[in-house]
Amino acid sequence: MGMLFGNYNKPGPGIRKDAPAQKAVPRFFSIFGRKFFDLVKLNLLFCIPVIVVTALVFAFNLVVQNLLFDLLPVILLFPFIGGLTFVTRNYAREEHAFVLWDFKDAVKNNWKLFLLDGVFVYFVSVILSISIPYYISAAGKNWFTSVAAAICTLIGLFFLFSQYYVPVMIVTFDLKFSQILKNSLIFAVIGLWRNLLVTALLGILAFFIFVAFHYAVPILVVVLVLCLFIFLLFSYCAFLINFTVYPLIDRMMVQPYLNQKNKDGEENETKAPQSDFIDRT
């Protein structure tokens, strides 16, 4: 899979080769249980920029009252996704992370690429939010609109899939943004079952949140959902995504790179222990 490679300045991951094999589902819940309170702290930390951005969205709405323009401040949230991703990626690899300091360093060292991704996501989302409803509403009138509706929907789906990989590649590899986008689109295809699984799990979670807020349910349920937002939602979703997609990245990018380094006789290069594929320094 040479097409997945770029120029790497970051060393390879510290995966324990002697660790006993464990199936994915038990391993997920084992890590989740051990890191539960750290995930709560991480979620509380991420809620700070979420609150600020939400306030900006509300302020924009008072001035313009145009949904597409009102959501523009969401771009400012993307650099903080770097911190969320770095910590949860380390947990997915069963490596230690200092919630506050690693979060801060990941934001500081990767904010430009995440901000660029935020702009990219925003404009693609605007285009898809206009084109998909338009062609779906016109579908059935002729073959062209039906085909266009299907194509736009597929583009939107695979664009979503690709975004599962962009954040973790930014904090893991030293690549240009164009290389990251290309690789993420490749993973959107070759990791199809993983992407569908993550999307289904996140969709179920979103459905229950939607029902809790939009239908007549006991106030206790609404309170529980609000507590979920405050204490766990963002860190849980990030951990779920990174736990699911990172093994594919490791197999297709990390391990071939390490094997190539070994073949080239570079395996004895000086490197800090347990600092594999950390963000830019």
Q: Supply the pTM of this predicted model.
A: 0.85
Q: What is the pLDDT of residues 38-92, one digit of tens each?
A: 999 999 999 999 999 999 999 988 888 777 788 899 999 999 999 999 999 999 9
Among residues of the chain, what percentage have pLDDT more than 90?
64
pLDDT at 160 (0 to 100): 97
> Does pLDDT of 241 surpass 90?
yes
Query: Confidence class of residue 21 from pLDDT cuts 50, 70 and 90?
Result: low
- For CA atoms 221, 225, 231, 236, give the dihedral sign: positive
Q: What is the pLDDT of residues 197-219, one digit of tens each?
A: 999 999 999 998 888 877 756 77
**243 neighbors 95 (Cβ within 8 angstroms):** no
Residues 6+ apart with CB under 8 A from 44: 230, 231
pLDDT at 74 (0 to 100): 94
pLDDT at 2 (0 to 100): 41
Select, from the ranges 9-13, 150-154, 163-167, the one with the highest average predicted confidence (pLDDT).
Answer: 163-167
Angle at 62 (CA atoms; ends 221, 82), nearest 5 degrees: 65
Query: Confidence class of residue 257 from pLDDT cuts 50, 70 and 90?
Result: confident
Q: For residues 85 and 67, give the distance between their C-alpha atoms in angstroms, rounded to a whole number.
A: 27
Which of 191 and 263 is assigned the larger pLDDT? 191
> Does pLDDT of 163 surpass 80?
yes
pLDDT at 87 (0 to 100): 98
Say how many C-beta atoms besides its own lie within 10 A of residue 112's C-beta: 13
